[in-house]
Amino acid sequence: MSIWVLMGVCGVITFLIRYSFIAAEGHFQPPDWFVRLLPFVPVAVLTALTVPDLVVVDGSIALGIGNPRLWAGAIAIGVAALWRNTVLTIGVGFLAFYLLQRL
């Protein structure tokens, strides 16, 4: 199978998955427990994407003081919790990571 056919098939599958939510609007009512859990999806996804990068160093879990990514992430989380400013959080996180790497 050529790469172009594979890309086309993946594009069609992606389109159909996304379109299914639009087409089902008004025809499908999810259960109440499902709707109540939806606000937690972004937090869970962001956590699943970022935590491995913060705690895994060279294939092993590093929770000690020698892991600058973990500490910079903790500082960024604190800034985000206090000021709720995305640009400030990213800037402080990068600055903290840079400084912690130099120590």
Residue 89's pLDDT is what?
A: 97
Q: Are residues 21 and 44 in the same domain?
A: no
On whether both 17 and 59 belong to a single domain, the answer is: no
3-state secondary structure 23-74: HCCCCCCCCHHHHHHHHHHHHHHHHHHHHHHHHEECCEECCCCCCHHHHHHH
- Please give the C-alpha separations between residue 12 and each of 6, 9, 17, 18, 98, in angstroms, as whole numbers: 10, 5, 9, 10, 42
pLDDT given for residue 51 in this prediction? 95
Give the C-alpha separation, 62 to 70, whole Å.
8
Same domain, yes or no: 25 and 41: no
pLDDT at 34: 94
Q: pLDDT band at residue 28, thresholds of 50, 70 and 90?
A: confident
Please tell me whether residues 48 and 98 are part of one structural domain: yes
Supply the pLDDT for residue 25.
85
- Domain region containing 24: 1-30
Is 96 exposed, middle or buried (CB count within 10 Å of its CB: 0-12, 13-18, 19+)? Answer: buried
Mean pLDDT score, 35-40: 96
The model's confidence at residue 24, banded by pLDDT at 50, 70 and 90, is confident
Q: What is the pTM of this model?
A: 0.70
Residues in the chain: 103
pLDDT, residue 73, reads 96
